[in-house]
Amino acid sequence: MKTYRIRPLPLSTIELDMAVFTYRFNYGKKIRVPLTCWYIEGADKNILVDTAADAKLATQFRGFPAEEISTFEDALAGLGLKPDNIDIVIQTHLQWDHCANTSKCRKAKVVVQEEELRTAFAPHPILAPTYKKNLLTDLNFRVVRGCCEIAPGIELVPTPGHTPGAQSVSVSTARGRAIITGFCCLKENFGPPAGAPEEVTEVTPVIAPGIHLDAVAGFESVLLIKGMADIVIPCHDPSFAKVKSIPS
């Protein structure tokens, strides 16, 4: 099977309460997380997973303390690319921090789950503040339903809960299956809650995303990816802000 490398492209960081990511755990613990897009290196086409967002949007739209790392254009330039060179953008979901630069990829097909596209344009009030509809106009959507192969060794895995139509991206690498999570999470989501009593940890193998429309589905999606992946890539984990390549 063909294998690839994943190149993380962090654009900014925002400061949040850790409980935003770990449902019912880590209240009051501040964490600075990256907003990242991911380039899949080695494919016949130029494929990005998400397009992230800059610090200015994070502050203006959501009021988060934010710091800039790179512009979208400069991040791509580091790989010898421009936005118009991108052929495919896989949207794990359509919340603002994952799609703010997608419209700049004018020639790209934008792959999204049907349920996620429906949710983005008519969100439940619980999730409505996390979508910004003007980021989604005039995009060339390729709508999919369920599991789908984008290229040999690159597959979509539905992982609902955080949003109804969230999808994760499985990428074949030289060190096994790497999965970019389609739900907002950290490494801590993929194990029992640190410091909790034994009677909690023994029945809590993973932690659901803190932001969700369906906590149970979110929990099951984390458990699914934990079982499937040789390399788990939690999309907002701070450790990936300085990683140049996966596998390294």
Per-residue buried b or exposed e for 163-191, using 16+ beta carbons within 10 Å of the residue's own CB: bbbbbbbbbbbeeeebbbbbbbbbebbbe
| Residue-averaged pLDDT of the chain | 97
How far apart are the C-alpha atoms of 122 and 131, rounded to whole Å? 10
Find the Cα–Cα–Cα–Cα dihedral 45, 141, 54, 82, rounded to 10°: 30
Average pLDDT of the residues in 200-228: 96
Average pLDDT of the residues in 4-15: 98
Average pLDDT of the residues in 74-96: 98
The model's pTM is: 0.97
Q: Does domain 5-241 have CATH number 3.40.50.300?
A: no
Average pLDDT of the residues in 84-107: 98
Q: Where are the domains of the chain?
A: 5-241
